[in-house]
Structure 1
Amino acid sequence: MSIADLPRVYPLAQLLVFLRHKGMTARHIAFGAGVLFFLWASYHTFFSPQSFSFPGEIYVAPPTTTTPETWRYRAEQVKAAFIHAYHGYELHAWKSDELRPMSGTGQNNFNGWGVTVIDSLDTMYLMGLRDEFDRAVRFVEHSNFTQPASQGLYAPFFETVIRYLGGLLSAYALSRDTILLQRADDLGGLLSPAFGTDSGFPDFGVSTSTGERRGPPIGILAEIASCQLEYTYLAKETGKKRYFDLADNVVKTLSHANLSNVGGMPPTRWSNTLGTPFDTHLSVGAQADSAHEYLLKQYLLTAKTDRKSLEMYIRTTTHILTNLFYLSPTRHFLYVTDTTGNGHGVTRPSHTFEHLSCFLPGLLALGAHTLPLSDLASIGINLNDLAKNLSPESKIDYAKMSKYNLRDVHLWAAEGLAQACYLTYVDQPSGLGPDEIVIYGTPDRSKPNNQVLGGERWFDALEAWKRSGGRGTPPGLTPTAPVVYTEKERVYGPAKSRPLRDYGIRKTGYLLRPETLESFYILHRVTGDSRWREHGWTIFKSIVKQTKTPSGFASIRNVQLSPAIQQDDMPSYFTAETLKYLYLMFTDEDLIPLDKYVFNTEGHPLPIFEWSPQEKSGWNIS
């Protein structure tokens, strides 16, 4: 036993008695106590697992003992935050789109139809805020969704569908208030001319007074392929086949596209004329994220009948897991990036990791929860068959992936990526995650500034782990401790005795985004692991501390500063998604069961339904 172990073995009183029996004087005892205190402090400073970890050291979070009463209290705190934000909007920005939370004024940046009201409807309903909900429904009843053509205004199709149409449909589904369905029908019809391109993909914008379309000939994947949920559910509830046809055409066009040189994954840019891919840039972040999300969710929404969407989801996630996931070189955390190909099987990763990509852990966990990934044959799917028209390189990856339990791989990826998303928050003095980081590689003296980008492809590491017997934790799943740089370290770099963070911040702002919290909510519901709730509470406390203003909550400019510098902006998705996911995470009651609802990309839950025999026959639904 070393002397450093004594204070942990003997109570202090026993130690003093022991020393006195040895003839020690008070001076000796005082000196010895000082030495022991120094050793105790040194141990807990330099060797205790609760201090910071050096690269590769395992950081184990303390077990949670949070009581149900505490979780109810935390849910109420989130509800109070929503009330503060929404009442601030009602007081200072009513009828405007969004609140400016510092100046206490409104701004119109999404058609001027009061997007915060409609985006927040289902959050109010779920939180039991009936007075606010009733006021909002009266507002919706008298809303004018047309725009004077003389003003040259065009509603951005994507944002209007996910925020307005999704908000109306979700609030109707929860409350069954027919006013909301009628207004959703009105809006869906006004937006429908956007589908008038030669391919049937929706154009960027549409005038809701004249039906004129506007947009470039090259469309963005997220904007052309994130309307299926809303239009399919609108068709079901109104009985109008034309809405179903618009959504189904998007699915069919995507499924018929030649994706042989991009691993079966849809790229970010498409021809709105031909309905074909325009580039080989692959991403799960900006310009692409929600389109991948809707592949799985369209299948689930229709009670697992949309086979085309399911097959596209399996192909897309297989390529993501084998080619877009990487391990950082120092702390070995798991991140997802985007790649650009040359059309001949060679791809170049950017090693940029976006906050927007942090929705992906939740999507992968949802797929693992709802699909028979461990037995795809039971639903007639074979990975090798899905790869038959792909490149030789993709066929090899698909064949290797087919040797795994696919459910395990999806959950490993979900857990590892969610840990990385959380790490980007707790690494910052503000406790909030930056909008975009870039992963540094191992220093290379042949490169400028000795710096290269990125780490090892995760699937290669997974293969090596499997060949070694698959013992221990799969790569990328070992939690690591946060590394918070001081102001001096941010400017001059960390001291040699400090661990490297192995990334730089490219976009320093925190825009009140929901993606990380969305994934924590789904992971908690799917796995029952309470650490995701605890992580959510940690982030919520930072949101309140850094972003709250007298009238609402504000985006911040730089997550590396505390107190943070606030921006005069409170996006409607903060009340539609960020606070909703936190509230749902903290409530013990499962208000939105994942086997009965799917969330659109703006956090609006839509109920899973089955087509009637008449609909299947009359609408040609197989």
Structure 2
Amino acid sequence: MLPPASVRKYSAGPLDMVWQCLHHRAYSRNLLSAVFFLVILGGLWYTLIPHSQRSFGDLFGSGKKVGISPEQVSDSEWARRAGEVRNAFLHAWNGYERYALPHDELMPLSDKPIDNFNGWGVTLFDALDTMLLMGLKEEFKRALPVVERANFSMEPGKYAPFFETTIRYTGGLLSAHALSQESILLQRAEDLAAKLDPIFKTKSGFPLYAVNTDTGSTKGTPMGTLAELASLQLEYTYLAKHTGKKEYWNRANAVIQALAQANLTRTGGMFPIRWNLTSGQPLDYHMSVGAQADSAHEYLLKQHLLTGKTDKKNLEMYLRTTTYIISNLLYISPRRHLLYVTDTPSSYAEPGRPTHTLEHLSCFLPGLFALGAHTLPLDDAASMGIHMKTLHDIAPLARSSWEKISTYNLTQLHMWVAEGLAQTCYTSYADQPTGLGPEEMLFLSPGKDADQGTLWIDVLERWRLSAPRTLPPGVGDKVPVVVTDEQRRQGSSKFRDYALKKPGYLLRPETIESLYILWRVTGNAKWRDRGWKIFQAIEKQTKTGSGYASLKTVEHLPPIKDDAMPSYFLAETLKYLYLLFSTEDPVSLDKWVFNTEAHPLPIFQWTPSEREAFGV
């Protein structure tokens, strides 16, 4: 799949002059001057730029770094690699099935089970659709009786966290139903939704934190976090569509309406983390795309796509959010020019200073921006019924954010964000001796006011005004920098522009998710190649006799393993790797939407009767 034409327009560089000279006689007299220019420029580049930072992309605008071009791989080899991921899934699944089923997760070092998500077998429910996509019919057949026997009961005093239960259990059941059409899966999802329903006993329609599925008693304060209260729309909309029951749509729509009616004048149109569950209004100004916020931003675009691009409210909220992120939360590091997204904690009066922390959880964002650029006519808002300037006139901060980006080709701008952030997320893997990325990184912030750092949009504007002939700042490949023990003692940020804040690797999927989406959107094989390198590191560094283990740190060899294999490793990490390497496209981005736990749901259109019955 090729990217949109607007994304494929790259600036010409000196090599283009040579190409023209060689292929167009009208330019032949310029050949000598072009070659002379290249020699002089190359000499300056070699002399002035440190070896670790040299890039042919910096010189020629190609974006390719020295020695890290993707290898040429045949379709049959990619199919073989997909088979290796399938074998990795079988290894993890068989270990879980042998040592942990029907409990939640396997502890892959001690070969013991652990119940940390309700005790109903979360790994099984999370892995159902992965089995179907990988063609593991026997494993799926063995799992179905466990699904049929599940009663979703809880002891008194125990509570099911609504967010995790919805995205893992309900999402897993609905996606497996969509792929297999097994009616029992939809019925079990309905049974679970009925047991979870007391969670919605709030005036705003936002869910509380947790509920006992037998007694109906709830747990949680009047304050909720964004991800936990606004990450149910996809699952409940699918339930409404495929059961014909309005009550499920009402649950999803209540969240959509509460978000759309929230007062965001102080936050520039973006949703902060903490909310009042009674009033449905924000409680602070902590802006983030990471923990406690990530999936809510994701569901704005995906709810619009799931419903056949008919949900204008979610579209408007997505456009405001991405505008704010580009203008206010994207920064660039001083030496390696790594693009990263961070958060701005709140003093409960106004947004605070940026932390310059990049979370692994935030590495879903490149994929989201690429998906939006692929599916939305961002430069023809009128065709979507949107007036962009009016959309951002809710507050001075929102207007200021829009003015910063309004003169750009928005499809191209969103793709620059996607590719630059994805490059940084991958670089965080390539920089480590284990080949695996850390949970959190703290970036170096230069300048007189070091806490502020350098906003990417400001650097981008200076780049644009300089009549650029190279890729935008932050976009393009980077040479890995693996520091020595001595350099680490001196402070690794001096060499890599960042230090490790939380060095553990938790088998997370977000970087791989973005690599997969970028591969499907751009067709550039380098994203596939990088996913293969990550999978090889997973195999080498995390594999145990019964599964795969998280790592305590990515900085040391041999790595110290942690006795944990989260269910999302089978639901997301291995699924996205398999789809990245697969020569087929069983869940096209134009026909399916992934929930935040990588459970694909088919895009649909409301029928006239459904519109009337549901009040859509």
Calculate the TM-score normalised by the size of structure 2: 0.89
Of 154, 162, 171, 1:166 maps to 171
Kindly report which structure 2 residues correspond to 1:359-438, keeping only aligned pairs within 5 A, or say none.
359-390=364-395, 392-438=396-442
- The answer to whether structure 1 residue 284 and structure 2 residue 289 are counterparts is yes
Match of 1:7 in 2: none
Contact 2:162 2:208 in 1 (8 A): yes
Contact 2:268 2:394 in 1 (8 A): no
Which letter does structure 1 place at the counterpart of 2:276?
Answer: S
Match of 2:489 in 1: 491
Q: Displacement, 1:478? A: 3.0
Q: 1:333 to 1:253 in 2, by over 3 A?
A: same
Q: 1:353 to 1:283 in 2, by over 3 A?
A: same
Structure 2 CA distance for aligned equivalents of residues 468 and 341 of structure 1: 36
- The answer to whether structure 1 residue 529 and structure 2 residue 534 are counterparts is no
- The answer to whether structure 1 residue 588 and structure 2 residue 573 are counterparts is no
Residue by residue over 1:383-429, the C-alpha shift from the partner in whole angstroms, topping out at 9 and shown as x without a partner, is 21111111x24312212322111111100000000000000001111
Contact 1:439 1:454 in 2 (8 A): no
Of 508, 513, 517, 1:513 maps to 508
Which letter does structure 2 place at the counterpart of 1:573?
Answer: Y
Q: Displacement, 1:148? A: 3.0
Residue by residue over 1:222-259, the C-alpha shift from the partner in whole angstroms, topping out at 9 and shown as x without a partner, is 00000000001011111110010011000000000010
Q: 1:437 to 1:500 in 2, by over 3 A?
A: same
Residue by residue over 1:423-482, the C-alpha shift from the partner in whole angstroms, topping out at 9 and shown as x without a partner, is 0001111110000011012377xx9xxxx4563101111111222234321111132211
Which letter does structure 2 place at the counterpart of 1:613?
Answer: P
Q: Displacement, 1:57? A: 8.6
Structure 1 CA distance for aligned equivalents of residues 496 and 145 of structure 2: 51
Of 108, 112, 125, 1:105 maps to 112
Match of 1:183 in 2: 188
Structure 1 CA distance for aligned equivalents of residues 427 and 547 of structure 2: 26
Does 1 or 2 have the higher relative contact order (CA < 8 Å, sep 6+)? 2
- The answer to whether structure 1 residue 140 and structure 2 residue 147 are counterparts is yes
Structure 1 CA distance for aligned equivalents of residues 343 and 314 of structure 2: 22
Task: Structure 1: state its 5+ residue gaps.
Answer: 1-42
Match of 1:482 in 2: 480
Contact 1:359 1:515 in 2 (8 A): yes
Q: Displacement, 1:378? A: 1.3
Q: Secondary structure at the match of 1:208?
A: coil
Structure 1 CA distance for aligned equivalents of residues 352 and 532 of structure 2: 39
Contact 2:286 2:352 in 1 (8 A): no
Kindly report which structure 2 residues correspond to 1:121-520, keeping only aligned pairs within 5 A, or say none.
121-149=128-156, 152-340=157-345, 347-390=352-395, 392-442=396-446, 452-453=450-451, 455-493=453-491, 500-520=495-515
Q: Displacement, 1:382? A: 2.2
Q: 1:191 to 1:344 in 2, by over 3 A?
A: closer
Residue by residue over 1:13-52, the C-alpha shift from the partner in whole angstroms, topping out at 9 and shown as x without a partner, is xxxxxxxxxxxxxxxxxxxxxxxxxxxxxx9xx99x9973
Contact 1:517 1:578 in 2 (8 A): yes
Structure 1 CA distance for aligned equivalents of residues 570 and 560 of structure 2: 21
Contact 2:57 2:470 in 1 (8 A): no
Match of 1:53 in 2: 53
Structure 2 CA distance for aligned equivalents of residues 344 and 93 of structure 1: 48
Structure whose alpha-carbon radius of gyration is higher: 1
Of 119, 125, 128, 1:118 maps to 125
Contact 1:440 1:453 in 2 (8 A): no
Among the aligned pairs, what percent are the same residue?
56
Q: Secondary structure at the match of 2:304?
A: helix
Q: Displacement, 1:492? A: 2.9
Q: Secondary structure at the match of 1:52?
A: helix
Contact 1:547 1:553 in 2 (8 A): yes
Contact 2:70 2:525 in 1 (8 A): no
Structure 1 CA distance for aligned equivalents of residues 50 and 490 of structure 2: 26
Q: Displacement, 1:195? A: 0.9
Match of 2:553 in 1: 558
Q: Secondary structure at the match of 1:281?
A: coil
Structure 2 CA distance for aligned equivalents of residues 271 and 133 of structure 1: 42
Contact 1:55 1:499 in 2 (8 A): no
Match of 2:15 in 1: none
Match of 1:33 in 2: none
Structure 2 CA distance for aligned equivalents of residues 518 and 477 of structure 1: 19
Q: Displacement, 1:490? A: 1.1
Structure 2 CA distance for aligned equivalents of residues 610 and 380 of structure 1: 18
Contact 1:483 1:501 in 2 (8 A): yes
Structure 1 CA distance for aligned equivalents of residues 380 and 569 of structure 2: 38
Q: Secondary structure at the match of 1:339?
A: coil
Which letter does structure 1 place at the counterpart of 2:544?
Answer: T
Structure 1 CA distance for aligned equivalents of residues 534 and 357 of structure 2: 23
Q: Secondary structure at the match of 2:496?
A: coil
Which letter does structure 1 place at the counterpart of 2:291?
Answer: A
Q: Displacement, 1:64? A: 2.5
Structure 2 CA distance for aligned equivalents of residues 465 and 618 of structure 1: 53
Calculate the TM-score normalised by the size of structure 1: 0.88
Of 558, 566, 569, 2:564 maps to 569
Match of 1:15 in 2: none
Task: Structure 2: state its 5+ residue gaps.
Answer: 1-42, 59-64
Structure 1 CA distance for aligned equivalents of residues 268 and 480 of structure 2: 35
Which letter does structure 2 place at the counterpart of 1:565?
Answer: I
Structure 2 CA distance for aligned equivalents of residues 481 and 570 of structure 1: 31
Q: Secondary structure at the match of 2:429?
A: helix
Q: Displacement, 1:488? A: 2.1
Residue by residue over 1:531-583, the C-alpha shift from the partner in whole angstroms, topping out at 9 and shown as x without a partner, is 00000000000011110000000000000012110000000000000000000
Which letter does structure 2 place at the counterpart of 1:195?
Answer: F
Structure 1 CA distance for aligned equivalents of residues 599 and 50 of structure 2: 39
**Further displaced range: 378-387 or 98-107:** 378-387
Which letter does structure 2 place at the counterpart of 1:93?
Answer: A
Residue by residue over 1:272-307, the C-alpha shift from the partner in whole angstroms, topping out at 9 and shown as x without a partner, is 111000000000000000000000000001111111
Q: 1:257 to 1:331 in 2, by over 3 A?
A: same
Contact 1:53 1:499 in 2 (8 A): no
Contact 1:56 1:331 in 2 (8 A): no
Match of 1:6 in 2: none
Aligned residues: 565
Structure 1 CA distance for aligned equivalents of residues 279 and 401 of structure 2: 30
Q: Secondary structure at the match of 1:197?
A: coil
Which letter does structure 1 place at the counterpart of 2:140?
Answer: F
Q: Secondary structure at the match of 1:425?
A: helix
Over the residues paired in the alignment, what is the CA RMSD in angstroms?
2.1
Q: 1:343 to 1:585 in 2, by over 3 A?
A: same
Match of 1:9 in 2: none
Q: Displacement, 1:53? A: 3.0
Which letter does structure 1 place at the counterpart of 2:53?
Answer: S
Structure 1 CA distance for aligned equivalents of residues 196 and 69 of structure 2: 51
**Further displaced range: 329-338 or 53-62:** 53-62
Contact 2:92 2:548 in 1 (8 A): yes
Contact 2:429 2:534 in 1 (8 A): yes
